Structure 1
Amino acid sequence: MAGLRTETPAPESIVLHGQSRVLEIGFADGSLFRIPFELMRVHSPSAEVQGHGPGQEVLQTGKREVGVVELEPIGNYGVKPVFTDGHTTGIFTWEYLYFLGSQQAELWQDYERRLKEAGVDRDAPMAAAGGGHVHGHGCSH
């Protein structure tokens, strides 16, 4: 499939489980991952979450109950989830989904460490961004 590195196995199945809030994705190498929507949301590859460069990441909170209402296919290389909190700008390539699935334990530990360092609770509402707005990523500032 286009957009995949040769070492990334091709996806063979993808299922949204709304009740348990996980994306289940199977790859050609036999890997089957159940990626929680919360993990996807807090590690979204969007500029809103990742910022526009190193050190500009925006720590996401209050995403434990986030859902995914739709997965929009993006070419042959990934999907764009529509999250229930209105976030729609992250394009998740097959390679990135494989990374999220295979590195879940480490990513959760890193997320919990970042929360602790920031002195913020995982379920705290998102703080207002620098421009005083709660949603959006404010590229125009």
Structure 2
Amino acid sequence: MSKARRLRVKAKPEDFERQHDDDAGFDLRAKEEVTLIEGKPKLVKTNVFVEIPKNHVGLVMIRSSLGMKGITLANSVGVIDSGYRGEVGLIMVSLSGNQTVFAGDRVAQMLIVPLQPVNVEYVKQLKGSERGEGGFGSTGKS
């Protein structure tokens, strides 16, 4: 079994916590009340600062309960690089009318994911594959 990496967090424990020990992500809470105007992205602050270990990334996703209400992240998934030390902010948008997010609401979750370093090789031609250059729906499966 691999040894767990240390994740340093500057926040109140209730602002960055797992509800259950085996949860994949850490809940993020809204720092202040924000009214989301339908279709207009708005920055929602979390009062959370993280020091993500090298060769890891923080992936931020909307909570499914908010997704059911038509609230999502404008950038779909937020990426927090290991070198970033600023406050974690969420670019939230309502797709279903004007809605309010209240201070203290759990609004998103962050997963800490290990990265596999790769060496980039620039080439003029890629190797072929069974799928080839087919785009969306090209596998014929729904």
Output the TM-score relative to the length of structure 1: 0.25
- When you count helix as a share of all residues, which structure comes out higher? 1
Bigger-Rg structure (1/2): 2
- When you count strand as a share of all residues, which structure comes out higher? 2
